[in-house]
Every structure is written in structure tokens, then in C-alpha cells.
Amino acid sequence: MQLSSNRQKYLRYITILFFISLIGLTLHALDDALVTREPDWYNISVAEFLFDLALIYLIVPPIGLWLARRGHVIGLVILLAYAFPAFYGAGLNHVRHLFGSFQGSQLLPTIFKALGIDYAPYLTNHGFLTVIMNMAGLGVTPPHGHTILSDAVVFFNIGLNLVLMFYLALAAREWWRARTLRRLSRDFRTE
């Protein structure tokens, strides 16, 4: 698929921003694992915690980038599914921790409560599932602190992931335009 020059430019920026974001997220994950001892909250080892995070961040999002660079919109969706949690979960929630709020987003808990789903038994002692659920804001973390370097990385990553989401939106707009033009061209030829 031939990509427009704008879309190629956006994808170049997305690639750079994604890899910088991934480095920042890796530093944040190491801080969570080694400084705040987050794996202890879930009764798992540091190695298992880092492995779980690697599964989430080092496999699926790079596949999304690969797909996006080949013109597939699903790649942009996958990257957005990476960038928003990196912005919100590892970013804004971290800032909330600095101000003493250790409760995650209340969106999913509210939805699950309305649906009558009791997820509380799975918030501890279930390894990967527990990590995913707490990353989704379903749990309440114990009060904790981070290093000043981790705080700086988080503030940088909040801005970086906002810019990444902006470029993802621009690339999606270019994809939509190209799709619309192809459809109009096809319709014009059939008339």
C-alpha cells in the first residue's frame, strides 16, 4: 500500500516517539520492580513481574508499530492501546501517587460493580492476571514513593505519550482520507 508523504512523516515521528516512550516505560518498570518492590504487592518475584511487563509492552506494541508502518490501521489502534495506558497508568496515576492518592482510575471498577462482577479475589496471588488488573486501575496500591529520577521520567513520559497520541490521530486521519479517496475513485469508475 502506497502511503502519503504526510502519513510517512507521521509514522516516522510515531516510531521515534514510541521507542523513546518504551525506554521511559522500561525505566519506570524497573523503578516499580526494584525500588517500590511492586512485585511483593502481588506475591510474585521481580523476574515474573518484569516478564509480565515484557509480554505486555515488548511484544504486542512493536507488532502494532510494524503493522502501522505497513499501512494497516489496526497497527495504529494497537499503538493507541499502548500509548493511552502509558500516559494514564504509568503517568497520571504516578502523579496521583505523589499527592497521596493510591487508588487507580475508577472507570473499570464502576463498570464491573454495575455489572455485578466481583473481581476483588483476583487482585492478589494470581500472577499475571493480578498485574494486569492492577495496571488497569482495579486495585489500590499501598502507599509508596518513587525516586526523583523516576518522577522526572514520568513527567517527561506524560508529555511524550500525549504527543505520540496526537501523531497517532494524525496518521489515522491520513488513513481515513486515503480510504475515502479510494472509495470515491472506485465509485467514480463504476459509474
Query: Which of 8-12, 30-34, 92-96 has the weakest average pLDDT?
Result: 92-96
pLDDT band with cut points at 50, 70 and 90 for residue 191: low
Per-residue model confidence (pLDDT) at position 167: 97
Residue 11 pLDDT > 70, yes or no?
yes
Residue 108 has a pLDDT of: 76
Query: For 91-99, which contacts have Cβ atoms below 8 Å and span 24 or more sequence positions?
Result: 91/154, 91/157, 91/158, 91/161, 92/158, 93/137, 94/28, 94/146, 94/150, 94/151, 94/154, 95/154, 95/155, 95/158, 97/141, 97/144, 97/145, 97/146, 98/146, 98/151
The pLDDT, as a whole number, for residue 105 is 66
pTM of the model: 0.80
pLDDT, residue 3, reads 61
CB within 8 Å of 57: residues ≥ 6 apart: 22, 25, 26, 29, 82
Q: Cα 115 from chain centroid?
A: 25
Q: What is the pLDDT of residues 130-174, one digit of tens each?
A: 888 877 777 777 788 778 888 888 899 999 999 999 999 999 999
